[in-house]
Amino acid sequence: MASPPKSPPGLPFSEVLRPELAELSAYAPHAGQFAIRLDANEAPPLLSAAARSRLAAVAAEAAFNRYPDAGLEKLREGLAARSGVTPAEILPGVGSDEIITLLLTALSQPRRGSDTVQLLTTTPTFVMYRMSAKVRGQRVLEVPLDEHWDLAETAMLSALRIAEPSLIFIASPNNPTSNQVSRERLARVIEAAPRSLVVIDEAYVDYSAENQLELYERYENVAILRTLSKIGFAALRVGWLIARPEATRELDKVRLPYNLPTLSQTLGVLAVTELASEIDETVRAVVRERVRLAERLAELPNVVVTPSQANFLWLRAERPAGELFEALSARGILVRSFHSRGGRLANQLRVTIGTPQENDAFFDAYRTLVR
C-alpha cells in the first residue's frame, strides 16, 4: 500500500514578515475594569435622552441587507458643511487612523536621492503617525518639541534640510501635551516644505480657541485631519481629511470599498446636522470642566498644568508618573501615563476631562497622592 504524500513544509512566517514589526507592539488600550476611565480622550456621556432616541430610530431604519454607500455622498456633504468647505474637499475614513494609512500608502514614492519614503513629525505626539509609517518600512524623523511643548522651529527647519519628507504630521492641539502649536512657527515650517504635504491633525479642534483652516486656504501643501471621536461619537469611528479636490480624488483610489458602515455614515450625518447642538453643548460642558479642574490642580504645590486647548489635561508632578498611575489605578481611576518613555515624560500624566463627579474623584485622589 502506497504511503500518503508528505505535506509541504509550513510557511516560513518569520521570513516573510516585515523586519520593522519586530520593534513594534500592537496598539492595545489598557485592559481591566475601572470605575472611572479618564485615559482615552473620549467625551463624557452627555447626549440627551431625546438625542439617543433619535439615533436609535434612525439606526432601526438602516437597510442591513445592503452594502453601505460606497461614495459616502451624504456623509461628505454633512462633514463639508460642518468644516466650511466643499464635499469635493472631504475624504471620510474609519477615524483619523485610516486617513493616516491612506496618506502613507498613496504618498509612498521615495524622493530623488533616497531609497525610502520619509515622514517628519514631532515628539511626543500621536503615536499612530510613527507606527503606521514604520509598518510600511518608511523612515520616521521625530523632532522633539521645545520646553513649552511648542514646535522647535530651528530643529524642524534643520530636519527639512537633512531630508525632504513626503509627509509632515503636526497635531494642533497636540496629543498628549494638550496645547496648540504656534501658528507663526507652523506657517514657517509649511513655507520651508513646499514639496511636502503638511497634515495638520485637528482631532481636538472643537475644544480649541481657533482652527488652522486659514493655513489650509493660504498654502497649497496643507491638509487637515478631523474626527467625531472626541466630541461624543467615538463609537462611530468617523474621521475625515480636508484637502484639495485633486488630492482627495487620488486618495479615494486607495480607500477600501465600503470602508465606513451604514450606521457610521447615517448616524454621522445625523450627528453633524440635526444633533449639532448636542455636540456644541458637550463641548461647552467639557471646556467648563477643563477650566474648573485645571484651576484646582494649579493650586497644588509642585504641580504644573499645561494650558489646554483639548479635552484633556497634561500634568507634571514631582512624584514619578508611574507611581501616580498605579496608585490611581488601585483606586479605580484610569489615566494615561508616559513614564515608560523616560526623560521629561517620566513625570507627566494625561487626564481626560470626564463628568464633574469623575473629575472631583480624580482631583481628590491626585491631591492626596502628590502631597
Report pLDDT for 5: 67
CB-based contact 118:165 (threshold 8 Å): yes
Question: Last residue of a domain, which of 274, 293, 321?
Answer: 274
Residues found in the chain: 371
DSSP string, 292-353: HHHHHHHTSTTEEEPPPSSSEEEEEESS-HHHHHHHHHHTTEE-EE-GGG-GGGTTEEEEE-
Q: Are residues 249 and 351 in the same domain?
A: no
**Nearest by Cα to 20 from 104, 125, 131:** 131
Confidence (pLDDT) at 110: 85
153 shares a domain with 204: yes
Counting the structural domains of the chain, the total is: 2
> Do 286 and 137 fall into the same domain?
no
Q: Is residue 23 part of a domain?
A: no
pLDDT class of 163 with cuts at 50, 70, 90 = confident
Q: Are residues 105 and 209 in the same domain?
A: yes
Q: Do 138 and 188 belong to one domain? A: yes
3-class SS of residue 366: helix
Structural domain ending residue among the three candidates 274, 301, 334: 274
172 part of a folded domain = yes
What is the pLDDT at residue 7? 61
In a domain, 91, yes or no: yes
In 3D, which of 124, 178, 188, 181 has the Cα closest to residue 156? 188
Alpha-carbon distance of 245 to 260, in angstroms, equals 20
Q: Looking at residue 115, which CATH number applies to its domain? A: 3.40.640.10
pLDDT digits (tens, 9 = 90+) for 312-343: 999 999 999 999 999 999 999 999 999 988 89
Domain hosting residue 191, numbered range: 60-274
Residues 84 and 127 grouped into a single domain: yes
Is the residue at 175 inside a domain?
Answer: yes
pLDDT digits (tens, 9 = 90+) for 263-303: 999 999 999 999 999 999 999 999 999 999 999 999 999 99
Confidence band, pLDDT 50/70/90 cuts, at residue 83: very high
**What pLDDT digit, counting tens, does each position of 14-71 carry?**
777 888 888 878 877 787 889 999 999 999 999 999 999 999 999 999 999 999 999 9
297 in the same domain as 149: no
Split at pLDDT 50, 70, 90, the class of 1 is: low
Query: How confident is the model over 119-158, as pLDDT tens digits?
Result: 999 999 999 999 999 999 999 999 999 999 999 999 999 9
Buried b (16+ CB within 10 A) or exposed e, 106-139: bbbeeeeeeeebbbbbbebbbebbbbbbbebebb
Q: Note whether 260 and 299 are same-domain residues.
A: no
Task: Say if pTM beats, i.e. exceeds, 0.95.
Answer: no
pLDDT digits (tens, 9 = 90+) for 223-256: 999 999 999 999 999 999 999 999 999 999 999 9
Q: Are residues 118 and 259 in the same domain?
A: yes
Are 284 and 195 found together in one domain?
Answer: no
**pLDDT for residue 90 is more than 90:** yes
